[in-house]
Structure 1
Amino acid sequence: MRAVGLGGALAVLLAVAGCKAQAVDGDGRPRPPVRIEVTTTGPAAVDRSGPSGGSAKRSPGATRSAEAPSAAPEVLWSRGDKGMGVRELQARLRQVAWLFDGPTGDYDELTVTAVKGFQGKRGLPRTGETDATTWDRLLGMTHEPGRWELYASGGQPAAAPDPRCTTGRVLCVSKTSRTLRWMIDGRTLSTMDVRFGSQYTPTREGVFHVTFTSRHHVSTLYDSPMPYAMFFSGGQAVHYSADFAARGYTGASHGCVNVRDEQKIAALFAQVRPGDKVVVSW
């Protein structure tokens, strides 16, 4: 049998006893342990160095399950909000038949109910609040509303006054914005929504004057009430219309300038006098 050195015999004994033998160089000195680094490039790869040396930072390939739960969608509008954003929301809800009134620009109870219905139909939480997810879904189903869709029920801003309206006492009517301004010496005292005649019975344009007024007038031609009538061109007058109040711009007059707000036209009627100017323009 070939003799073995003391170092070799010791290594054999340690191996038999189950101990981990330390590798040695040929000169008997222990070799430093081999350092093996393993790198991975899959879903489990995580960089734990973090900006402050603490929390882990996910690599691009890390799985989503390691992340914190995503935050709830941002709420864009909810009950009590007002403005053009709410008006557009309402116009789009009208396009998909979840809202039939308005738009008003006020996030009211009818709007809450419409949003809840829209959300429930699409499996979204029925909160009645318009969050980013609800808004994105609605955008995908509707087109950008035009001017008169946004103001289907009125509330549109009045057009700039016609230059002929800037002096004296004037009922300044704009077909462009569908509004009437009551003006004295260039100052607007009140504004109101109005509608006009159809293409078959158009409202005449030009400069006129109030010929007479009639608080409880009834049309002899159409047998229909014309309260707070202020006549300016033959049988055409500015007057309150219950039909306009009920149906909005889906209807038309027989040539008169219809007003939908009875309180406003009652106040106007109390101020207007025969001889006051009436300007009807585009």
Structure 2
Amino acid sequence: MRRIHLTTVIARTLAAATVLTVTAACGAQSDKASGAPAADQKPAAAAPSSQTTSPTADTANDNRPNGVSGAEAAPAGSTTAARPAPKILMAAGTQGAQVKELQARLAQVGWFDDTPTGTYGSVTSAAVKGFQSKRGLPTTGSADTATWQRLAAMTTKPTPQELAGQAVNKPKTKLDKRCMTGRVLCISKTTRTLNWVVNGKVQSSMDVRFGSQYTPTREGTFKVFLKSRNHVSSIYHTPMPYAMFFSGGQAVHYSSDFAKRGYAGASHGCVNVRDKAKLAKLFDQVRVNDKVVVYW
């Protein structure tokens, strides 16, 4: 009888010890963006160091250069040596005509808003970093051979007017086919341009910027479901004038931060416009249920 009693006690103890509770929660992020920059925001939980980050749409569409970072070692047992890091052509403190050309070319793709000076300072470093990050290049802020080759392939040789800061030869936006019928806010992430298109004809264009990698602006086809002339973000408590909402809390709206700092900042997911007068005019023309297309 004693042996049976001990066996029963052990079995009950083991059963009580094998209790496992798993809790998971997932929900859509509220993306009511403000003009405040989101570049320094961090995700709620950092990914494990062994996890590979998925490429952004911009990275996926680019033809990456063959050069890789010198830190990328060849696999174990491989007879192929790691390729050397790209040669640095320009970095903080560099001066000269090539720096001025770099600045003018960055202006063509919307990454440099100042007059080219020929001096590689903090503004130029930030512009190069942004360009590198969007294209899957090592984000160093220095213009190496891989960065220069990618930028040169996307731009044209600057004119004297561009080098003097009097003009910017931005690449022409290729309208998505979804923008060719009806009334459409046609928004290109490649050229960072918003075109107001009616029946296939561009009525007006303006510069825009988008969310950071942590709060990306959604891509796809949407409709304007709410207009709010003097909107204030309920999350960030910042003004969002001339807001036209198209996806949850994401909207096209004026950003004083974009007007002041250019592409050095980012939104929390909204489409920021820096020309207030142009957007005010557009706001009066756009109707609820007009189409919005966000694409690369």
Give the TM-score normalised by structure 1. 0.50
Larger radius of gyration: 1
Give the TM-score normalised by structure 2. 0.47
- Relative contact order (C-alpha < 8 Å, sep 6+): which is higher? 2
